[in-house]
Amino acid sequence: MQTSFTPAQLETPSLAEANGILRSCVHCGFCTATCPTYVLLGDELDSPRGRIYLIKDMLENDRPATKDVVTHIDRCLSCLSCMTTCPSGVHYGHLVEHARTHIEATYTRPWPDRALRAMIAVILPHPVRLRLAIIAAWLARPFAFLLPRQLRAIVDFAPKTLPSPSAWDQPQVFPAHGVKRMRVGLLTGCAQRALNTDINAATIRLLTRHGVEVVIVKNVGCCGALTLHMGKADSGRNFAANNIRAWTHEIENGGLDAIVVNTSGCGTTMKDYGHLFSGDAVLAKDAARVSALARDISEIMMDLGLNTPINVPRLRVTYHAACSLQHGQSIVSQPQALLRDAGFTVVEPVESHICCGSAGTYNLLEPELATQLRERKAANIARTHPNVIAAGNIGCMMQIGAATKTPVVHTVELLDWATGGPKPAGL
């Protein structure tokens, strides 16, 4: 794609990067076939190619974002399916992040939208605040019909139960069983710590059972993904910088062979820390080191190999491939291979590349489109007749779980069970 940024504009690193991404696009349109919003709406401007044109025009002309541009960019899930499809290697993910930051800086949203986004940004990355917000949603349920559309969707989506805070998530060291093969840090997450404490516990049991010492590092919190994807770049970078400093302290004082992530959205962001801080004179080196160590739990377990499975029921497991795992990290076969090694029968639904509609905060900000994608995903999963649904991301688990009576558990819970752990509570 031809661009016409001025030399002065190209002195700005973010615009120089956007220019390079734009110029790599060859207008082929392959991305439209795999874009969830284009599949639903059939509007060229709701496809990656259409959004690229909008972003080019906005950034090239240093133009404040307009309502129409914001509408189409907001509808993007950042599922990155287009990047998997693209034959030219267009890094749409970085480009849309530039666009969202520009929107946040130049566009004044209607006050209800501003208030909602501000509320999400100050609540979701903090487990204690999120717990209190869920309790508030329970109290608001009888009056939900009086609330604005988006707040009503949030109240409806709040989980019906809430686990107690878990001792597993507190800073500590879990020793390896038998001969120590690795020493790893575990990202315990933010929303996940409030919504489902079983996932981290299962991850720690699985790793220690396979000879891995697991460290819960002090002062590690939200990875920054939730606010970065909302265009709140400063907030996202602050979360990420805090984690980089905490991980670096542990790397230099205790040593880590890897940083294990069991929430794929977080994993995609952590693996991008090196890029996010590439121009930061203070944090660039440490950010790149943290990115290089970040690995999904399925990658670690493939390297370790599963212990001989115990005699668990040979359940039919439908595996849901989270977008941030298959598109964001190019991890496609490993989770399914591990589940098969554990003795389960694994199937995959049609349209497995299409997002379920969770996408971080998307189901809170764009509830209508998110619901359409959720129902489409649930229907495709139902056609596989599963005993259980497995996924590698808490957001997907909650999104799909709201549309099906079939149990939805994390992949790691099944692997833990199959190698000697307790039966997943979801079953």
User: What pLDDT score does 194 carry?
Assistant: 93
pLDDT at 262: 97
How far, in Å, CA of 9 to CA of 328, rounded? 29
Q: What is the pLDDT of residue 152?
A: 82
Q: What are the φ and ψ backbone dihedral angles of 260, each rounded to 5 degrees?
A: -90, 135
Distance CA 353, CA 239 (A): 29
Ramachandran quadrant class, 64 (left: phi over 0; alpha: psi -120 to 50; beta: rest)? beta
- pLDDT (0 to 100) of residue 146: 82
Please tell me the predicted confidence (pLDDT) of residue 275.
Answer: 96
The whole-number pLDDT of residue 424 equals 97
- What does the block give as tokens for 214? 């697991």
| pLDDT recorded at residue 69 | 97
Contacts of 396 (CB under 8 A, 6+ apart): 320, 322, 356, 358
pLDDT at residue 150, as a whole number: 77
Task: Specify the pLDDT at position 143.
Answer: 86
CB 153 within 8 A of CB 367: yes
Domains of the chain (ranges; CATH) run 9-106 (1.10.1060.10), 111-157 (no CATH), 167-301 (3.40.50), 309-418 (3.40.50.1860)
What are the start-end ranges of the H helices in 162-232? 191-195, 198-209, 225-228
Q: Give the pTM.
A: 0.95
Give me the pLDDT at residue 144, please: 81
pLDDT tens profile 224-266: 999 999 999 999 999 999 999 999 999 999 999 999 999 999 9
pLDDT of residue 145: 80
Q: Is 272 helix (H, G, I), strand (E, B) or coil?
A: coil
- Going by C-beta distance under 8 Å and a sequence separation of 6 or more, which residues neighbour residue 71? none
Polymer length in residues for the chain: 427
Residue 276 near residue 385, CB atoms below 8 Å = no
pLDDT, one tens digit per residue, over 288-326 is 999 999 999 999 999 999 999 998 899 999 999 999 999
Structure tokens given for 57: 């025009």
User: What DSSP string runs through 14-67?
Assistant: HHHHHHHHHHH-----GGGGG-HHHHHH--GGGSHHHHHHHHHHHHHTTPPPPH
Q: Is residue 174 within 8 Å of 214, Cβ to Cβ? A: yes
What is the pLDDT at residue 147?
Answer: 83
Which pLDDT score, from 0 to 100, does residue 373 have?
Answer: 98
Please, are residues 294 and 390 in contact by the beta-carbon 8 Å criterion? no
pLDDT of amino acid 41? 96
Secondary element (H or E) of residue 93: helix 92-106
Residue 216: phi and psi, rounded to 5, are -95, 105
Residue 384, Cβ density class (10 Å: 0-12 exposed, 13-18 middle, ≥19 buried): middle
What is the residue-level pLDDT of the chain in tens, covering all 427 positions? 999 999 999 999 999 999 999 999 999 989 999 999 999 999 999 999 999 999 999 999 999 999 999 999 999 999 999 999 999 999 999 999 999 999 999 999 999 899 999 999 999 999 999 999 999 999 998 888 888 877 887 888 888 889 999 999 999 999 999 999 999 999 999 999 999 999 999 999 999 999 999 999 999 999 999 999 999 999 999 999 999 999 999 999 999 999 999 999 999 999 999 999 999 999 999 999 999 999 999 999 999 999 999 988 999 999 999 999 999 999 999 999 999 999 999 999 999 999 999 999 999 999 999 999 999 999 999 999 999 999 999 999 999 999 999 999 999 999 999 999 999 999 9
